Structure 1
Amino acid sequence: MLNQILQGVLLGGYYALIACGLSFMFSVMRIINLAHGSLAIAAAYLIFVLSERSQLPLWLCLVLAVAAMSICGWLLHRLVLERSSRGGQLLPILSTFGLSMVIDNALFEQFGADTRSLANAIGDLSWDSWELPGGIFVGKLPVFIFVTAVVLLSALQIMLSRTALGRAIRATAEDPDTAGLVGIDARRVNAMAAAIALSTVTIAGMFLAMRATFEPYSGSQQLLFAFEATIIGGVGSLWGTLAGGVILGIAQSLGASLHPLGFLIAGHVVFLVILLARLFLPKLASLPARIVKRGVPA
């Protein structure tokens, strides 16, 4: 039991990482980006191509991919999200849904249906582990992913609470019209927030390519995991995203130990239970996010 819980916590680190950009974008622009998973897969392919064809070090491939995807995030806001948001709340959702289909099919056209992985690029890290007392083995890569998720969420929290850009983002999220009266360019701030969100998506895409295989249509499953972690932890809450990812990971790990199909079923059941709890017992449902937030200084 202890081993399953520990593995679930580490798996939750990846879920928090993949959900980070989705939660951040919603908290700032109140937009549910249905292209989130497809963008993560696109980032994974970009890093894969840079690594395989140019033979660049993986860290440099990540830096180049983050820069490229940040520009894509800026353009995504200027060309799609900003314009579609003028037509109401539904149009951005439909726009990002359409964008996800375009990205999926474009990747399929370019790369085919073969699966890819970055496991070869990281060598022993893809399978190596530490042995803990009691015969429990902990993978080095899952620990690295979990630490990265905590560091990234901490950096975003510090940026939001202690920098001028963060204060501008929070002011714009609260009331863009009032923020404009004090000299904040809401259009520019939202574009920068989209660029930041796509940067986190790129990091998540790289770790996805490290820990598993991926193919052009893997984005929908990653979106589902990100959405469930976000809802479980509390929409718009960064530390709640970490809590949601950990809860989802533990549920899936325990479910897999009970039945081969329990991995996904247990996660979906926990998601539905907490979703219903948020509708009827809002104070109880927000407990995970409040516990994590109370334990970490804002």
Structure 2
Amino acid sequence: MMIWVNQIVQGILLGGYYAVIACGLSFMFSVMRIINLAHGSLAIVAAFGLYVLADQFGFDPFGALIIVLPAMGVIGWVLQRTILERSQRGGMLVPILSTFGLSIVIDNLLFEHFGADTRSLAPYIDELSWDSWQLTDDISIGKLAAITFVTAVLILGGLQLFLTRTQLGRAIRATAEDPDTVGLIGINARRVNAAAAAIAMLTVGVAGAFLGMRATFDPYAGGPQLIFAFEAAVIGGAGSLWGTLIGGIVLGVAQSIGAQINPQGFLITGHVVFLVVLLARLHVDEIGTRFRKTMRRSA
């Protein structure tokens, strides 16, 4: 019994990482209705940036975030102004194709510069990468996993407060609701969207840091991270910040329990849960559409 409890605890903590990496994806979708397929690749860019600063310049990975996070914010701003903004004019499909192409370019540039060898930030954080608190004989909590989960809660809570309590946050929400009309009340939608993309990339930078600390990464590791982020965002409800945390926890617990049942069940169980939730959402949406049509006809 305690073994299953431990698997659930580990799944919840793993869900914290999935929430961190899904946060930026969900945030961009909620504001700009863009699914950024370069999301995972950009997280790997942040991980490699931290690795270079730690390996060649002796920076502590946490301290190196002071350099990497502003750089990721600039990347988000430039990405919005040069690619996303222009591609949005062509409809919903063009941004998806544009970011897919961008991910391929990023992956191959990283491969050309760093090669195919895997890297990790674990050697630069000493015992934090493996140390844990032993709660019982069967249940332990990894310190890095706990820090990741707390960071996920702080990021999501901070973003929620930012959107509701600050002028820029309210401008972002207004732009998300009606980007064509906000100009009438003095809001520059272009600047607001660029700022939102920069904020999303800040969260991607944090996700890249935790990815590098908890596991190995290589130039082509962005694809799996994108899948995990997308699944967590969909399970929790695309565009919902706290839903992203719930989705990450559900995905993490499913994977953890699946791994306990069968060593190959880690990924499969998570994918199955994602598909079940996706089909359920599509079914509910279909019922809602039929209901609305029936009400309009009866009116």
**TM-score for both structures, normalised by structure 1:** 0.94
Q: 2:39 — aligned with what?
A: 36
For residues 155-174 of structure 1, what are the structure 2 equivalents within 5 Å? 155-174=158-177
Amino acid corresponding to residue 195 of structure 1 in structure 2: A
Amino acid corresponding to residue 35 of structure 1 in structure 2: A
Equivalent of 1:121 in 108, 124, 128: 124
1:178 Cα deviation after fit: 1.4
Indicate the structure (1 or 2) with the bigger Cα radius of gyration. Answer: 2
Tell me, what secondary structure is at the counterpart of 2:134? strand
Equivalent of 1:214 in 208, 213, 217: 217
Residue-by-residue CA offset, 1:41-68 (whole Å, 9 max, x unaligned): 0110001101111112323311100011
Tell me, what secondary structure is at the counterpart of 1:130? strand
**TM-score for both structures, normalised by structure 2:** 0.93
1:283 Cα deviation after fit: 11
Tell me, what secondary structure is at the counterpart of 2:125? helix
Q: 2:153 — aligned with what?
A: 150
CA distance in 1, matches of 2:62, 2:6: 31
CA distance in 2, matches of 1:182, 1:140: 48
Residue-by-residue CA offset, 1:91-140 (whole Å, 9 max, x unaligned): 00000000000000000000000000000111000000111135311111
Tell me, what secondary structure is at the counterpart of 1:22? helix
Tell me, what secondary structure is at the counterpart of 1:177? coil
Residue-by-residue CA offset, 1:67-109 (whole Å, 9 max, x unaligned): 1110010000000000111111110000000000000000000
1:281 Cα deviation after fit: 2.8
Matched, 1:250 2:253: yes
Q: 1:136 — aligned with what?
A: 139
Q: 1:64 — aligned with what?
A: 67
Q: 1:278 — aligned with what?
A: 281
Amino acid corresponding to residue 266 of structure 2 in structure 1: F
Amino acid corresponding to residue 202 of structure 1 in structure 2: G
CA distance in 1, matches of 2:36, 2:133: 37
Q: 1:7 — aligned with what?
A: 10
CA contact (8 A) 2:51 2:61 kept: no
Question: Using a 3 Å threshold, how does the CA distance of structure 1 residues 133 and 50 change in structure 2: closer, same or farther?
Answer: same
CA contact (8 A) 2:60 2:125 kept: no
CA distance in 1, matches of 2:32, 2:124: 36
CA distance in 1, matches of 2:286, 2:239: 16
**Which consecutive segments of 4 or more residues in structure 1 shift more than 4 A?**
none
CA distance in 2, matches of 1:136, 1:60: 31
CA distance in 2, matches of 1:174, 1:281: 23
Equivalent of 2:100 in 75, 94, 97: 97
CA distance in 1, matches of 2:136, 2:218: 37
Stretches of structure 1 that go unaligned for 5 or more consecutive residues are 285-298
CA distance in 1, matches of 2:137, 2:238: 37
CA contact (8 A) 2:128 2:144 kept: yes
Residue-by-residue CA offset, 1:142-198 (whole Å, 9 max, x unaligned): 001000000010000000011001100000000012111000000000000000000
CA distance in 2, matches of 1:57, 1:83: 38
Stretches of structure 2 that go unaligned for 5 or more consecutive residues are 288-299
CA distance in 2, matches of 1:57, 1:146: 20
Matched, 1:238 2:247: no
Tell me, what secondary structure is at the counterpart of 1:242? helix
Tell me, what secondary structure is at the counterpart of 2:141? strand
1:282 Cα deviation after fit: 5.1
1:280 Cα deviation after fit: 1.1
CA distance in 1, matches of 2:128, 2:137: 23
Identify the range of structure 1 (193-202 vs 48-57) with the bigger mean alpha-carbon deviation.
48-57
Amino acid corresponding to residue 147 of structure 1 in structure 2: V
